[in-house]
């Protein structure tokens, strides 16, 4: 690796210039087991953080069990890895599943930091939390598009964004059909 990065500088680079951040992360080239452990760790921490505010506010009775929430989050992250690798290759990209796994794990690390900031804002300055949430969504797509461009060698940021949004909507549609077929009821469907 030509430059030494610590986690904070790598996160700053990923936020400011996602393509360079993704290239630096891929260049680290950790073993496959470390990539899987990274994803498992962010799923575990993400589940814990998702439960933190409802537990603190006493509104935890409507939450699913932590195990089912972690499993769902894990499945969604794996689906994202598969879609990023597979759909990108369908469009002529050169990225691998292993590098997509690493980049999704790293993206989730950064999103956990933003989620922690949102949690602090909710506890200290509640009106500021919605601004942090909106900024987090924008930053998520900003980094995701940059990471996909680097992973697959694509040139068009707009093309990657449009393909990402199209894939996201199609995947959500298919996922909801699968859930309905398995007998799960989507929120609001019982009132129809």
pLDDT for 5-56, tens place per residue?
Answer: 688 999 999 999 999 999 999 999 999 999 999 999 999 999 988 887 677 6
Q: How confident is the model at residue 187 (pLDDT cuts 50, 70, 90)?
A: low
Instruction: Please tell me the pTM assigned to this model.
Output: 0.86
How many C-beta neighbours within 10 Å does residue 44 have? Answer: 14
pLDDT reading at 108 higher than 60: yes
According to the model, what pLDDT value does residue 185 have?
63
pLDDT cut 70: percent of the chain above it: 89
The 10s digit of each residue's pLDDT in 158-179 is: 999 999 999 999 998 988 888 7
Q: What percent of the chain has pLDDT over 90?
A: 63
Can you give the C-alpha Rg of the chain in angstroms? 18
């Amino acid at each position: 690796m030509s430059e030494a990065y610590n986690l904070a500088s790598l996160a700053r680079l990923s936020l400011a210039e996602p393509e360079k951040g993704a290239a630096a992360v891929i260049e680290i080239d950790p073993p496959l087991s470390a990539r899987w452990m990274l994803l498992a760790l962010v799923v575990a921490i993400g589940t814990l953080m998702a439960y933190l505010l409802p537990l603190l506010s006493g509104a935890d009775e409507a939450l699913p069990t932590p195990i089912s929430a972690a499993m769902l989050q894990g499945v969604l992250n794996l689906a994202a890895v598969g879609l990023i690798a597979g759909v990108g290759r369908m469009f002529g990209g050169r990225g691998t599943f292993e590098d997509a796994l690493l980049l999704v794990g790293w993206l989730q690390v950064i999103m956990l930091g933003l989620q922690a900031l949102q949690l602090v804002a909710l506890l200290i300055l509640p009106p500021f939390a919605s601004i942090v949430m909106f900024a987090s969504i924008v930053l998520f797509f900003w980094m995701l598009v940059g990471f996909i461009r680097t992973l697959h060698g694509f040139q068009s940021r707009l093309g990657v964004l449009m393909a990402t949004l199209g894939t996201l909507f199609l995947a959500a549609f298919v996922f909801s059909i699968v859930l309905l077929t398995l007998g799960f009821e989507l929120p609001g469907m019982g009132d129809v």
